[in-house]
Structure 1
């Protein structure tokens, strides 16, 4: 084989992207007679809809239709949800609005300008109800109800016990606990939602072009809601998606809304979301309250953990929620050897934007309290945080390591990665400098975070939201299937069709590298087709771009499909050369006999035979070269009756060290240095890997320092533009040092694990640990994010120690 995999090959996608030849959703040709949509949205967080008067809007010149929830309801059923609570969710308000930004009516016009103008002509009469936005208050018996038929605001509630939790706490030398709050924030891709929907009356079929990235189980959810067979809902995803970070999974309600609008108006419908709509009404990560406590020995060893996690899923629980609660279920104890675990998981609904997939999905919410707790253990035991971490890290000899909740960590050397972070970040030296700096009134801190990065979701994990008894009444769910098709044309060039809907991660490049290695041809001869068409592509319910699944699953499907092609051309060559297949090898475009290299048969000739001379093929062989492979890992079984679940295929490791200085005059946090060590198994393309790490880190730093989808206590949305919703840009990125170790996964054929979400999970808590460390002389504890100057200034203002020190220094 060639050796393209593992090398920093330039991305093949970049030529078209850098020259303006990318094919995004708004680049798709608009059919004749297409109506452009604008959406009227609620300005109330919680209100009954008394009436909607659309008459004046309908009379506007150029308006084709004005559509309300009552009309949409005639063509669909509520979306199915993965919980037993009977929450009815439609893509538009029917009789009640439950968050600011919820769709109330859709105007279709000959252009967007007319449609937007007509929105102002619609008269909606509301009867306001009391809103609820606070997570814990939503659980109170007297809290305002969002869904009266449910009877409470709780959408899902489960409790899990693994190991001997009570015994661990009874035998503990210390019980250390705290409450942590994680904020609601989002992703801000360059390209917002975009949809072109068309209902074809002659075939009773919906065709939707959208920058939806999966998971494609949602296709079934949409078809079920529309009351049609799956083959009557065709979804086409363009080869280029301008970023997603999970958020574009949330496009599916709008896909259904506009598909029905197309049916009502009898014309294609196009809608491109604007930025304000995206921030207020697309999707977001969950905000979470976590109560966490640890049973700790005098040595710093944690023997048991109890967690109560309360997720705010927003106004409606919608697919794939409550997955944020359970996506990290198998790795709930992170990188630590903690044998006893209790989890209480609650998903509650409030008058906020509904939540969904986001980069790091559930990881940032999990690791914020877990890693903050580790630092708190060190503080209460008067130990160095590094020593507490060493005491608890899973050791190399323990791999493969089974977690208390059923996860199977496939490989790793966490101690090596952690020590490399300490060495690279000069941890011991910084501690000495910190002591000197504090004497001069400077506020320095260092933060550590060690996290496990799961990749390749086991589709069975979401069913942990149900009890074993509830699961037993339906078809078991498991696996992580991904598909790829490799074909060779009569000239010997290759087409590869993937179903992982990339949004900038470089899937095309890595797929071409794999084909080059397996088939012994140059990458220039490989064309990768990234568009997904549910009517023509090979795909599964798990297909899509999420859960860092390409490296572990998508690449594996490409690898095995390429080997099916390789096997076929070897059979053809063996038949022509009159030798056994095992005697053959492939190099430089030729198939040759290992012991007699002069005896060879060109790859192009073998392929040509399959196309041009099928009667010369071995007996029983089909003509042509066209092979599809569906890959699923064998370690992704359904949850058992004890709720044990290996919720991901592979598990990487990230160790971060961050140093900060806080300006005493402005309370601004400056990151001095950021060191991040990654173990993602075999690196398929180091150049792409480092690009993904930078992106994940930027997203994580946004959550740590800047980003929050903020609401006031009355449910009004406060951060509807980039003037209020702050995102890090290039100047805000600190100095970053990236290093790698490689412990190949025994699960995947290439030894690869997913990567790209790790720092989104680790950065918020790494920075929080550093800031908390910096402020520790003033007895200040960080238990929420983001760490804005206003927030830190408030903490310093309330610290008697800090104020007294200021007076002394003055």
Structure 2
């Protein structure tokens, strides 16, 4: 991408330094797990995986593998089912999930056995000696196949492939559609893809019969490149049958990227802990790339039917959404998160007063799903923003020379205009100026010039399209949304879950050096850089006097079940905890300064490494001298002052509560905004799509570090480009994956990202966070795929072709133009009752 600066770009603050994380990485001194050897005598594991998508496991013969020289242990389904409990699920579905298949294999690549040996070569050789007798069963591939009445069952005890099915209604939906001037409907499909990290999964685990801390009973200590959410720690403990206090997890400072995918590593942590118990030694397992593409995790693919009731003025009066997520072989925690993460912002940036939602998750013989950058948002906005274009097309006006109201005009008419704004589903948008952000994106795109290009290309027989995507970007997830998968009457009183808490610990040593300890397990975003800047500013110190620790050790690092690096939590939550802890430290330093200077503490300030009088700045003492006084001579501190330079803060916003009894929830703390305009060309001969220009405007509240925010935007755009045009986990009707290597699973490179990019920012500080910051890591991963789809639809509009699915590339366009592809099903009709179900 070629960055074109916008005149309205905010200046980079003079306190925003380069990333402190970069030097070790670019000099080869990163601390990745496969480089570390924390335990002596560690053995190595290899995993035996199912070649079948759906098969009953008749028997497993481990004898030859156990007899192989150098093998310490081999365990299979019998050992797993005897020693472990099924992982606790988010719903009551009778679909038990273990770290290996026990009764059946339910997807290609599912673990069936583990071999532990002296080295990887020996382990893999012995793994080939494990003999599994399979009874192949008919596979279920795709959500539609799972919903068929005669579909084979993956989990017989559940009596259905539907893992969860809930319907929500907010307002009189039937009346809204009866009285509508127009009813516009579309059916859409969002693909299954991942955000491929540079480093695959890696685990080192040790089972100990005694933890060595004076307590009685077994314990597990593990190292993993896990990124959270730490709700998975009690899930691990539950499977092992241990208290959470006896499961100790370490996460190194560098984890080689994740983008949500490494939240799914926890089954392997449990599996390697059990392997360690059998081997009597620590066990290491490092996933290879084929294993990762076969059996790690991906985002959920979704089929959805969206209906809008529209009045004569083009205002949307009701939204009816039928959503079906394919979660793969198991409803693996934290799923069904993808269905509910955007519950509070399901109406996007639009004032839609009445909503009905049917939310289903189905199981299939495919890799289980989980978090993926922007999870829930990409799927939702692909349907919602395609529907907005359909509304524009059907209710009059002009779009690109075709019949229909201008797509921008329809959006402008329906935008939320005042804040705070409460959605029908319970979301509370804290701040913003959506109209201004849209106009800025239009201005920066130079829309007039793009339309001239479009006219010129079309006159020459080519295809050129312009698309828009507007999204509300949720950050600071309220984990309580997962409770919506359970009907209110089945949710046990007093056992609701909610919250967006983050913990931070700050200490000052006797020489005045400040240490900030984070539990946010970053994956490359620059948490240390920003936390250092925030703490230094609050304490009036040069940044060189502040160090940040990001290694996670659940036994010593402050954390809570909501901790982790997901849902753009760092800017709104972690920095808020940094502010709280730093301010408490500042109060103690000022108290010490009052002793040194003979000035009341409330008349002091911290600046330039000093404690000084606001009235007489020359009357000052060094910060380090004040810190030294607390350490060396605490008895002289003012009465009531604690002699402690060690503070832990937990930022716990009260705006995020559990779901109400009528199923409304504020599913995130903060809500940013993204307006994106994308222009594309389609070569008339090759039908290859090329992105011509992108105008992207983000409102993430207060900008804490412009360089890092820009980096998040660029990264999200590239991930989104992959999901929109290149990346897709495909499966043959037989259930065999057909994209298990990088020859078939294509990721975009710098060559594919060589379009003209114009980024800009609007700042609407959040009133809910001390610094006014919101998250910014996921926005374009939600907006770009549908903006590109809208642009391709606009390009092909003269041919009467509809775009209803992703990814889009030359082969897809060829099939559409030649009549071999799906044209979609947008209908302009009078109201006709409820949304149909898929059969």
Question: What range describes the TM-score normalised by the shorter chain of this pair?
Answer: over 0.9
SS of corresponding position for 1:597: coil
Paired position in structure 2 for 1:487: 507
SS of corresponding position for 2:639: coil
Paired position in structure 1 for 2:4: none
Tell whether 2:137 aligns with 1:129.
Answer: yes
Change (3 A) 1:557 1:321: same
Paired position in structure 1 for 2:637: 617
Paired position in structure 2 for 1:212: 226
Change (3 A) 1:6 1:482: farther
* Aligned counterpart in structure 1 of residue 310 of structure 2, from 271, 292, 296: 296
Supply the distance in 2 between the matched residues of 1:720 and 1:440 (Cα, whole angstroms).
Answer: 40
Decide which moves more: 464-473 or 644-653.
464-473
Paired position in structure 1 for 2:347: 333
Supply the distance in 1 between the matched residues of 2:406 and 2:455 (Cα, whole angstroms).
Answer: 14
Tell whether 2:652 aligns with 1:632.
Answer: yes
Decide which moves more: 116-125 or 258-267.
116-125
CA-CA distance at 1:298 after TM superposition: 2.9
Paired position in structure 2 for 1:274: 288
- Conserved in 1, the CA contact under 8 Å of 2:588 and 2:642? no
- Conserved in 2, the CA contact under 8 Å of 1:33 and 1:267? yes
Paired position in structure 2 for 1:808: none
- Conserved in 2, the CA contact under 8 Å of 1:4 and 1:514? no
Paired position in structure 2 for 1:189: 197
* Aligned counterpart in structure 2 of residue 176 of structure 1, from 172, 179, 184: 184
- Conserved in 1, the CA contact under 8 Å of 2:16 and 2:533? no
- Conserved in 2, the CA contact under 8 Å of 1:5 and 1:513? no
* Aligned counterpart in structure 2 of residue 359 of structure 1, from 356, 373, 394: 373
Paired position in structure 1 for 2:698: 678
CA-CA distance at 1:286 after TM superposition: 0.3
Paired position in structure 1 for 2:613: 593
Paired position in structure 1 for 2:468: 448
* Aligned counterpart in structure 2 of residue 793 of structure 1, from 778, 800, 814: 814
Supply the distance in 1 between the matched residues of 2:587 and 2:266 (Cα, whole angstroms).
Answer: 40
Supply the distance in 1 between the matched residues of 2:40 and 2:647 (Cα, whole angstroms).
Answer: 37
CA-CA distance at 1:433 after TM superposition: 2.9
SS of corresponding position for 1:596: coil
CA-CA distance at 1:402 after TM superposition: 0.6
SS of corresponding position for 2:626: helix
Decide which moves more: 416-425 or 619-628.
619-628
Paired position in structure 2 for 1:714: 734
- Conserved in 1, the CA contact under 8 Å of 2:349 and 2:471? yes
* Aligned counterpart in structure 1 of residue 246 of structure 2, from 229, 232, 237: 232
Tell whether 2:387 aligns with 1:387.
Answer: no
Paired position in structure 1 for 2:836: none
Paired position in structure 2 for 1:783: 804
Paired position in structure 2 for 1:57: 65
- Conserved in 1, the CA contact under 8 Å of 2:169 and 2:355? yes
- Conserved in 2, the CA contact under 8 Å of 1:638 and 1:645? yes
Decide which moves more: 91-100 or 25-34.
25-34
Alpha-carbon deviations, 1:212-237, whole Å to 9, x = none? 11111110111111111111100000
* Aligned counterpart in structure 1 of residue 362 of structure 2, from 348, 351, 375: 348
* Aligned counterpart in structure 2 of residue 145 of structure 1, from 131, 153, 156: 153
Change (3 A) 1:193 1:17: same
SS of corresponding position for 1:606: helix
- Conserved in 1, the CA contact under 8 Å of 2:12 and 2:707? no
Paired position in structure 1 for 2:50: 42
Paired position in structure 1 for 2:454: 434
CA-CA distance at 1:474 after TM superposition: 5.0
Tell whether 2:32 aligns with 1:24.
Answer: yes
Compute the TM-score of the two structures, normalised by the length of structure 1: 0.97
Paired position in structure 2 for 1:538: 558
- Conserved in 2, the CA contact under 8 Å of 1:710 and 1:718? yes
* Aligned counterpart in structure 1 of residue 168 of structure 2, from 144, 160, 163: 160
* Aligned counterpart in structure 2 of residue 687 of structure 1, from 695, 707, 711: 707
Compute the TM-score of the two structures, normalised by the length of structure 2: 0.93
Alpha-carbon deviations, 1:280-303, whole Å to 9, x = none? 100110010001110012332111
Supply the distance in 1 between the matched residues of 2:525 and 2:705 (Cα, whole angstroms).
Answer: 11
Alpha-carbon deviations, 1:504-537, whole Å to 9, x = none? 0000000000011011111111110001111001
Paired position in structure 2 for 1:704: 724
Alpha-carbon deviations, 1:61-117, whole Å to 9, x = none? 111111102112222110011112122000001111000010011111111111111
Paired position in structure 1 for 2:837: none
CA-CA distance at 1:47 after TM superposition: 0.6
SS of corresponding position for 1:406: coil
Supply the distance in 1 between the matched residues of 2:312 and 2:28 (Cα, whole angstroms).
Answer: 61
- Structure 2's unaligned 5+ residue stretches are 1-10, 212-217, 396-403, 824-839
Alpha-carbon deviations, 1:416-457, whole Å to 9, x = none? 010111111112332233123212101000010000100010
* Aligned counterpart in structure 2 of residue 771 of structure 1, from 777, 792, 803: 792
Tell whether 2:337 aligns with 1:323.
Answer: yes
- Conserved in 1, the CA contact under 8 Å of 2:15 and 2:533? no
CA-CA distance at 1:30 after TM superposition: 5.2
- Conserved in 1, the CA contact under 8 Å of 2:588 and 2:644? no
- Structure 1's unaligned 5+ residue stretches are 803-810
Supply the distance in 1 between the matched residues of 2:84 and 2:502 (Cα, whole angstroms).
Answer: 29
Say what the alpha-carbon RMSD is for the aligned residues: 1.5
- Conserved in 1, the CA contact under 8 Å of 2:336 and 2:361? yes
- Conserved in 1, the CA contact under 8 Å of 2:721 and 2:785? yes
Paired position in structure 1 for 2:761: 740
* Aligned counterpart in structure 1 of residue 778 of structure 2, from 757, 760, 776: 757
Supply the distance in 2 between the matched residues of 1:394 and 1:6 (Cα, whole angstroms).
Answer: 34
Alpha-carbon deviations, 1:461-517, whole Å to 9, x = none? 111111111224451211111000111111111111000000000000000000110
